[in-house]
């Protein structure tokens, strides 16, 4: 298929939809709904909910275009054997990973809070990557899945901008993937980190990747 381009900063990014995947990072109740991991860390989670609607529009367009859609979820085995002890105690909060909460055990696979919000729920055939850390590549089979599909470009949505999105984009960039992050489809608990988290991706001529938004992505995917 002919190459297409998405308007972005620092400059437009050419992509081929057959070798481009939509990567949706950690749009789990645990991060965007009250009573989950995000709130246990001391955050107001409501600002993150604004990312759901634009991400749903991009998801619908990617599906129509027949692009690969990959979802990730941060979380741990019920016995927490894959959770570093340092992560378990980090923050000294009174609610920790594995503790019971209103959406089930915090950040534990299989629990309601760990799963993806209904508006963005994976369809059959869309890979779901369960990751123990912040980066989508660390201790997962994401790279294998992308290589098997000859994916070269990643359109990135999800939460949070400066934590799992930034870490995953940096991991992807070092592996040779071209990443474009959609500013209204990524969210942070901290407005200043949203701003700087995006700025540091596109600085220095796109040191880690590109930044665009859902409007320009939809125009580019154009179905």
Beta bridge pairs of residue 102: 104
**Active-site annotation holds for 164:** yes
Which residue among the candidates 131, 184, 202, 213 is catalytic per the annotation?
Answer: 131
Residues 122-151 that bind ligand TIU (CB under 6 A): 134
Q: What is the CA radius of gyration of the chain?
A: 17
Measure the CA–CA gap between 94 and 89, rounded to whole angstroms.
Answer: 10
3-state percent breakdown (helix, strand, coil) of the chain, nearest 5: 40, 25, 40
> Which of the ranges 8-16, 62-70, 82-90, 160-168 carries the binding residues for ligand TIU, by CB under 6 A?
160-168
Residues 185-214 that bind ligand TIU (CB under 6 A): 189
Under rule CB under 6 A, residue 31 binds ligand TIU:
yes
Measure the CA–CA gap between 151 and 147, rounded to whole angstroms.
Answer: 6
Q: Six-digit token pair at 55?
A: 């991400």
Long-range contacts of 85-91 (CB under 8 A, 24+ apart): 91/41, 91/42
End-to-end CA distance of the chain: 14
Least Cβ distance, residue 9 to ligand TIU (angstroms): 22
- Which residue lies nearest ligand TIU, judged by its C-beta? 164
Of 32 and 61, nearer to ligand TIU (C-beta) is 32
Please pick, from the candidates 7, 12, 19, 41, the single residue that binds ligand TIU as defined by CB under 6 A: 41
Measure the CA–CA gap between 79 and 167, rounded to whole angstroms.
Answer: 25
**Active-site annotation holds for 134:** no
Measure the CA–CA gap between 58 and 99, rounded to whole angstroms.
Answer: 34
Least Cβ distance, residue 108 to ligand TIU (angstroms): 14
> Which of the ranges 120-128, 155-163, 171-179, 200-208 carries the binding residues for ligand TIU, by CB under 6 A?
155-163
Residues 71-110 that bind ligand TIU (CB under 6 A): 74
> Which of the ranges 61-69, 93-101, 117-125, 157-165 carries the binding residues for ligand TIU, by CB under 6 A?
157-165
Measure the CA–CA gap between 31 and 48, rounded to whole angstroms.
Answer: 8
Under rule CB under 6 A, residue 6 binds ligand TIU:
no
**Active-site annotation holds for 131:** yes
Beta bridge pairs of residue 5: 14
Catalytic residue ranges: 26, 131, 164
Which residues bind to ligand TIU, rule: CB under 6 A? 26, 31, 41, 74, 134, 159-160, 163-164, 189
């Amino acid at each position: 298929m002919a190459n297409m381009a998405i308007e972005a900063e620092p400059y437009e990014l050419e992509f081929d939809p057959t070798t481009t995947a939509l990567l949706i990072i950690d749009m789990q109740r645990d991060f965007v709904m009250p009573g989950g991991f995000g709130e246990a860390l001391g955050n107001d989670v409501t600002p993150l909910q604004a990312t759901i609607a634009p991400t749903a529009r991009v998801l619908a367009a990617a599906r129509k275009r027949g692009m690969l859609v990959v979802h990730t979820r941060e979380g741990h085995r019920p016995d927490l054997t894959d959770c570093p002890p340092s992560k378990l105690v980090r923050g000294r909060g009174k609610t920790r990973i594995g503790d019971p909460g209103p959406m089930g055990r915090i950040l534990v696979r299989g629990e309601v809070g760990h799963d993806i919000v209904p508006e963005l729920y994976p369809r059959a055939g869309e890979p779901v990557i369960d990751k123990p850390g912040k980066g989508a590549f660390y201790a997962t089979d994401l790279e294998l899945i992308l290589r098997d599909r000859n994916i070269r470009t990643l359109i990135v949505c999800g939460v949070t901008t400066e934590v799992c999105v930034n870490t995953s984009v940096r991991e992807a960039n070092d592996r040779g993937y071209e990443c474009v992050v959609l500013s209204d489809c990524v969210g942070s608990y901290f407005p200043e980190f949203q701003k700087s988290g995006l700025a540091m991706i596109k600085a220095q001529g796109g040191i880690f990747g590109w930044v665009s938004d859902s409007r320009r992505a939809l125009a580019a995917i154009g179905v």
